[in-house]
Chains A and B, each alone.
Chain A
Amino acid sequence: MSDIDFVGLLSFVPAILRVTTPILLAALGVLISDRAGVLNIGVEGMMLSGAFVGVVASAATGSAAAGLIGAIIVGGLLGAVLAGAVHILKADLILSGIALNIAAAAGTTLLLFLMTGDKGMSGSLASQVLPKVTIPVIADIPLLGTLLSGHHILTYVAFLAVPGVGIFLTRTPLGLRLRAVGESPESAAIAGINVVRVQVMALIVSGAFVGTGGAFLSMGYVSWFSQDMSAGRGFIALAAEVMGHGSASGTMFASLLLGAAEAIAVALQGRGLPSELMQTVPYIVPVIALVVYARRRQRLLARA
C-alpha cells in the first residue's frame, strides 16, 4: 500500500466529485419530493430523459446552455406529469413513478431511433458539452487547486445547491409549508396550506434537479447519449436521499459516500480485480447503510 500516498489519494478527489455530481443533483431532487410527501420514484426515467434532451437540444441549437435548459425543462415537465398522475388521475404514486421509468426508457430509445436511425447511441448528433470551470487564483495553489478548481460547472452547481436546498427547506416559509405537507397532509390542509399546489411544485422542482443531473451524464460525464445510460443512477440517488435522513447535508454526505464507492470501484478495476464485482459496490453500500440506519432508529425507538 506504500504507493498510495496522500497526493495519490488527493488525485482521487476529482474522480469522486465527477461520479458524485449526477447522484447528488438527483438526490437533492428526490429530497425535495420526499419532504413534500411525494417520493419521486420516477427519478431514473427523469434522469434518462434529461440526458436525452440535453444532447438533442444542444445538437439542435449548437449551444450547450440550451441543452442544459432543455434538460431542466423536461425534468420539470415530467415532474408535472407525475404530479398530474397522482392528483388528477388519482393514480398510485409509486406505480406512476414506475410507469414514468418504463415510458422514459422506451420513449428515449424510440425518439433516438426516429431522429438518428440508431437505437443505441447518439453518435451522429453533434451535441455540445458543458464546460469545466477553473477558478483563477485558487487553481495555482498546489493542494487546494486540485480540490476546488477545474471541476465541471454542474459539480459546482450541485454542491452549491446543497446549502441552498437546506436553507430553503428549513429556513423559509415555503420550505416549512412543504415539510408540513410531507409530515401530515391533513393537518397542513387544515392549517390552510394548499397541499396539492405544494406537492405539484415540489415534484416540478424535483424533476428540474433530476433533469440537471441527467444533463451532466450526457454533457459532462460523457459527450453522447446512449440507451439506458442512467443505468440505475437514479435509484442510487434515491438510496442516497434515504440514507441522508431527509436533510440536505446528509444527502450530500451519502451521495459522496456512494460516489466514492463507485470511483474506487472504477479505479480498482484497473488493478486486475473482476470489474463486474466492483460494479456491485455502489448498489450494496446503500443496502448496508439502510440497515445500519434502520437499526439505529429501532434502538432509539426502543429506548424512548
Chain B
Amino acid sequence: MSTPEHTEHSEHSEYIDVETGKMGMWLFLFTELFLFGGLFIVYAVMRARYGEDFHHAALELNAFIGATNTVVLLVSSMTVAMSLTAIQKSQKNLAVGLIFCTLLLAGVFMINKYFEYGHKFSLHLYPGSDVMRNLPKGEIMFFGLYFLMTGLHLFHVVVGGILLTIVMLRVKSGKINKEHFLLHENGALYWHLVDLIWIFLFPLLYLIT
C-alpha cells in the first residue's frame, strides 16, 4: 500500500490511506455484486422454467420508461465522473455543479419510477394483491422479482443520492479538495455501481419479452 498521507490542513493530524480506503470500497462493491448477482441467478433459473409466463408478464412493463431511465443513469454516471475530473483540476464550483446535475438526474430517475410503480399499483399488480394472486405461477414470480430487484436498486439510488449530497456539501466547504478527495472517489464508485446494476436490469426485465 502507499504511504499514509498526513493532512496538514486540519487542526489535529489525521492519517488517510487513500489506496486502502479505495480497496475497502471495492470490497464493499463486491458484496453488492453478489447481492444482486444472487437475484439474477434466481431470475435466470425461473426464466428457464417459466419462459412463457415471463414473456407475457414482461410485456406489461413500459420499455420506454426503462430506456429513459437507462439514459438518465448513463448521463448521471458521466456527470459524476466529470465532477471527479473537476475536483482534480481544482475547479470547485464546476465540481459542485456536476454533482448537483447528478442529483437532479437521480431525481428524474425516481420520478419515472414513481409513475411506473403507480401504473402497476393502479392495475393492482403488486405483491399480495388479489389480481396478482390469480396470475399463473411464472407471472407471479416475474412481478415478484421485478419489484424486488427494481426496488432494491431504487433503494441504492436513494442511498447514492444521500452519499453524493454529503460529497457535494463537503466539496462546497472545501473539506474535499484537490489533495483529499477519497470520499468523492468512493461516492462516485458507488454511483457507478448503481448504473452497472441497471445496465443488466434494463434488458433482462424490460426488453427480453
- Asked if A pairs with B, the answer is no
Q: Contact residues of B with A, CB < 8 Å?
A: none
Q: Contact residues of A with B, CB < 8 Å?
A: none
